[in-house]
Amino acid sequence: MTLELLHKPSMAKLTSLGIGGYARVQAKVRDEAGLDELSRFVEREGSGLLAIGEGSNMLAGDGELNLALVQVARHRKAQAEISGTTVLVPADMRLPGLLSVLIKNGLGGMEGLAGIPGSVGGSIAMNAGSYGTDMQASVKRVRLWTPSKGLFWKDAADLEWGYRHFSLGNDEFFLVWEVEFELSGSTEKEVRAKIKETFEKKKTTQPVTARTAGCVFKNPEGCSAGKLLDDAGFKGRNLGGMGFSEMHANFLENKGDGTAEQALELMSQATEAVAEKFGITLKPEVIILS
Ligand SMILES: Cc1cc2nc3c(=O)[nH]c(=O)nc-3n(C[C@H](O)[C@H](O)[C@H](O)COP(=O)(O)OP(=O)(O)OC[C@H]3O[C@@H](n4cnc5c(N)ncnc54)[C@H](O)[C@@H]3O)c2cc1C
């Protein structure tokens, strides 16, 4: 079967935050033939389509969610194909796995992304980034799938990119299928050292091993959401089993038995307090599924 269907998948199991109820259905696309079946799935399911990767940037609501999840989950072990400084990567390869390949091959440019736990596909869709770089900086072209066009390549320059923003310029459902990166020639030693440095820095400032979805809010233009939350008194603020991290106020942690209701209530209190105190409206970075 090239399109595997699972009914009522648990969002808590599919997301790094580990909270949330059940989606309607989850389709795992195993190979290109599975994309033909996916067209029929899309027609059949109609509403609530949502691509999902590693679920490391998602906050899923409690209870039954009207979602039809689509996940790239190719049969063959996700591997990168390297030709000089060009690297072709399937969307379901994990970003940390890609960085390991880049270390071994002495390819530089993405070292600042160390510590981001998602899939390559999800990281493109979020234009994930840190320490002054993002996915866009190294992408040459992206192979996408849409119900109306099937598979097609788009040059990076013909796509819309921004701060944690990526778009095809329309509202149609899309999947990132594979990505071609253009990197810079370096050495194994140098790439390894830079990645280690980035990761060490993250480990001392962010709760990298806790159950989180990364940063909850986007940084407003010219300031840090973490600092605003800290100054508004939200660092370490808890509600039930959820809480803003003691280490970095812009990370919401599931302490074990957290719920989406608690997470959303904390976010709403924080947004209100920051708006009142600083006149700044925080916008969620995490994708809220309700
Ligand atoms: C500890 C921790 C640290 C983090 N640090 C960072 C950081 O420094 N910088 C940063 O930017 N983010 C960070 N994140 C957030 C997250 O890891 C990134 O946003 C990551 O790129 C999301 O990838 P994912 O596969 O988990 O995507 P998901 O969470 O599964 O999905 C995110 C979005 O991408 C879409 N999507 C997923 N896969 C596909 C696909 N194949 N095709 C089309 N759309 C798709 C989804 O519909 C959704 O809109 C962190 C998260 C954690 C838990």
DSSP H/E element including 275: helix 260-278
Separation between Cα atoms, residue 267 and residue 269, nearest integer Å:
6
Pocket test residue of 28, 116, 174 for ligand 1, highest count of atoms within 8 A of CB: 116
> Can you tell me the distance from the alpha carbon of 134 to that of 128, in angstroms, rounded to the nearest whole number?
6
Per-residue pLDDT band at 79 (split at 50, 70, 90): confident
Cα 124 to ligand 1 centre (Å): 8
Output the CA 117–ligand 1 centroid distance in Å: 8
pTM here is: 0.97
pLDDT at 58: 98
123 lines ligand 1 (CB under 6 A): yes
User: Any long-range contacts for 264-267 (C-beta under 8 Å, 24+ apart)?
Assistant: 264/59, 264/61, 264/288, 265/239, 266/234, 266/237, 266/239, 266/242, 267/216, 267/217
215 is annotated as an active-site residue: yes
Q: Which of 141, 215, 237, 253 is catalytic?
A: 215
Closest to 52 measured CA to CA, from 27, 22, 24, 78 = 27
223 is annotated as an active-site residue: no
Amino acid letter for position 243: G
Task: Check pocket membership of 90 for ligand 1, CB cut-off 6 A.
Answer: no
- Residues 6+ positions from 112 with CB-CB distance below 8 Å: 129, 130, 131, 132, 133, 194, 198
pLDDT digits (tens, 9 = 90+) for 229-249: 999 999 999 999 999 999 999
Q: Which residue, judged by its Cα, is nearest atom 19 of ligand 1?
A: 57
Pick the catalytic residue: 164, 192, 211, 237? 164
Cα 118 to middle of ligand 1, angstroms = 5
C-alpha to C-alpha distance for 171 and 254, rounded to whole angstroms: 32
The reported pLDDT for the residue numbered 229 is 98
DSSP 148-192: TTEEEEEEGGGSEEETTEEE-SS-S--EEEEEEEE-EE--HHHHH
Q: Please write down the HEC assignment for all residues of 94-141.
A: EHHHHHHHHHHCCEECCHHHCCCCCEHHHHHHHCCEECCEEHHHHEEE
Q: What is residue 46's predicted lDDT score, i.e. its pLDDT?
A: 86
Task: For ligand 1, say whether the CB of 288 is within 6 Å of any of its atoms.
Answer: no
pLDDT digits (tens, 9 = 90+) for 134-154: 999 999 999 999 999 999 999
Q: Walk me through the domains of the chain, giving residue ranges and CATH numbers.
A: 3-72 (3.30.43.10), 81-205 (3.30.465.10), 225-289 (3.90.78.10)
Q: Is residue 76's pLDDT more than 70?
A: no
Predicted local distance difference test score (pLDDT) of residue 74: 87
pLDDT-based confidence at 287, cuts 50/70/90? very high
CB 28 within 8 A of CB 52: no
Helix (H) or strand (E) holding 57: none
Amino acid letter for position 10: S
Task: Give pLDDT, residue 92.
Answer: 96
Tell me the C-alpha distance between 177 and 258, whole Å: 33
Q: Across residues 8-35, what is the average pLDDT?
A: 97
Contact 112, 99 (CB under 8 A): no
Residue 77 DSSP one-character state: P
**Are 92 and 176 a contacting pair, CB within 8 Å?**
no
Q: Does residue 58 line the site of ligand 1, with CB under 6 A?
A: yes
* 197 CA to centre of ligand 1 in angstroms: 22
pLDDT band at 187, cuts 50/70/90?
Answer: very high
